[in-house]
A and B are shown apart, each in its own frame.
Chain A
Amino acid sequence: MAIIEPIEGRYVYLTIQDVEYRVYYEESGKGIPIICQHSAGSLGLEWRHMLTDPEIISKYHVIVADLPYHGRSLPPESIEWWKEEYKLTKSFFMNFQLELSKALGLERPVYMGTATGGFLALNLALEYPSKFRAVIGVESALRAGPATLDIYYHPYIGNDYKRANSMYFSAPSNPEKYRRAITWVSMLTAPPATKGDMNYYFIEHDLTGKAHLIDTASCAVYLLTGEYDPTSSVEDTKMLAQQIKGAKFTEMKGMSHAGMAENPELFKTYLMPILKEIAKKQ
């Protein structure tokens, strides 16, 4: 008997900032909806283990989309996108989550994002607390460190760079099979999308002086950061958590920047207490 996973993949048409996008998404499970957002220059495959975990999908409805220009969500057909460099903006990124949630009829979903998506968790909690019952920011920070955008999309630097670099955004003690899969997944998104996503990550995201305005009574905030993450370090996330009254921070020992993909079993041990707490509040 062949193994068939419970994941269902579909396309949904979303209009964001007056442009229509054909967006690929996968979902599985029933219960509290959780939108899972991938990191910069990546795609929904990062969350594949969440979509098949029997314990998770027995109580939660997991939704994972490829952001436009990523994976199977191609650039839109109604604009001449090739005449300008792709850049992910904060407003587009937030509107995407809102439109996805609305189109799928989700009722105050949990939003969980990693890295670039983890940064967005805080923007959503700040600006749209009524739309999400909780946010989980994986590898979040007030802002990113120094920007290094050009190496992600340069005619002399090929995909080997992403392949090599992504290996070390997972902790050295994690299973090689997962670490190597991350290197492959990192190559699946077009290089311009990686650089363009960094516009939000390095330039637009900055919660300095704003994080304390997040109201966790309206939208609960959970933060998870890997011990090894060099980009958003444990100290960076602690600093963020200290500024949000009621935010809950957990350090993920033995993990780095690619949590749910670098060691899904270990990641789950950190995630489940959060999901159970969210479920208990319903």
Chain B
Amino acid sequence: MAVHFIDPKNASYFVEVLNNDPEFKIAARYMTKDACIEVGNIKCIVKFRDGVVTEIKSENAFADPWDFAIRGSEEAWEKFLQPIPPRFYDGIFGGMIRGNFVVEGDTISAFSHFWAITRMLDIFRELQNK
């Protein structure tokens, strides 16, 4: 299963969907950070500016800076993106506890904007299964 949110062809559409999602707009308010969502060894940088996603970059992003990263294997993300994920892959925090995902870098920022991140990933799941 290909992970759709790291496919550069989908980037602009995913940005549009995120910025038009009513819950995401509330959850991401005031957020100005670069979040790295890492799938195996592929980095996907999501840039937030004043609560708006300005770019999703997964092509040639290997040297780009980020504030915090959420890392998982390709297999872990594939499980996470299933319509009904299996246990320990249904949420990032639970997945962290069970060693399936890792949050690194400025973790205080990651957790202060956790609602935006979790809503974004839920939208990625919705788009994955559309």
Contact = CB atoms under 8 A, between A and B. Distances in A.
Interface of A: 145-146, 151, 154, 156-158, 160-161, 163-165, 167-169, 171-173, 227-228, 230-231, 233, 256
Given A164-B118, A173-B84, A157 B90 contact: no
B91 interface: yes
Given A154-B108, A156-B108, A230-B88, A168 B93 contact: yes
Interface string B25-50: 00100000000000000000000000
B60 interface: no
17 contacts: A151-B107, A154-B111, A157-B112, A160-B112, A160-B115, A161-B111, A161-B112, A165-B93, A167-B91, A169-B94, A173-B84, A227-B87, A228-B94, A230-B87, A230-B91, A230-B93, A233-B88
Given A156-B108, A158-B112, A161-B115, A230 B84 contact: no
A233 B87 CA distance: 10
What interface size band does chain B fall in? 20 to 34
Contacts of A156: 108-109, 112
B95 interface: yes
Interface of B: 27, 84-85, 87-88, 90-95, 97-98, 107-109, 111-115, 117-119
Given A160-B27, A164-B118, A231-B97, A171 B90 contact: yes
A121 B28 CA distance: 39
B84 A151 contact: no
Contacts of A233: 88, 98
Contact of A164 (B85, B94, B97, B114): B114
A173 B93 CA distance: 18
A145 B99 CA distance: 12
Nearest to B97: A230
Nearest to B112: A157
Contact of A172 (B84, B95, B97): B84
Contacts of B88: 228, 230, 233
A156 B119 CA distance: 20
A168 B94 CA distance: 7
B115 A145 contact: no
A160 B112 CA distance: 7
A230 B95 contact: yes
Contacts of B112: 156-158, 160-161
Nearest to A158: B112
Given A145-B97, A230-B88, A230-B97, 4 more contacts: A151-B107, A160-B113, A168-B93, A230-B87
B98 A230 contact: yes
A76 to B, nearest CB: 31
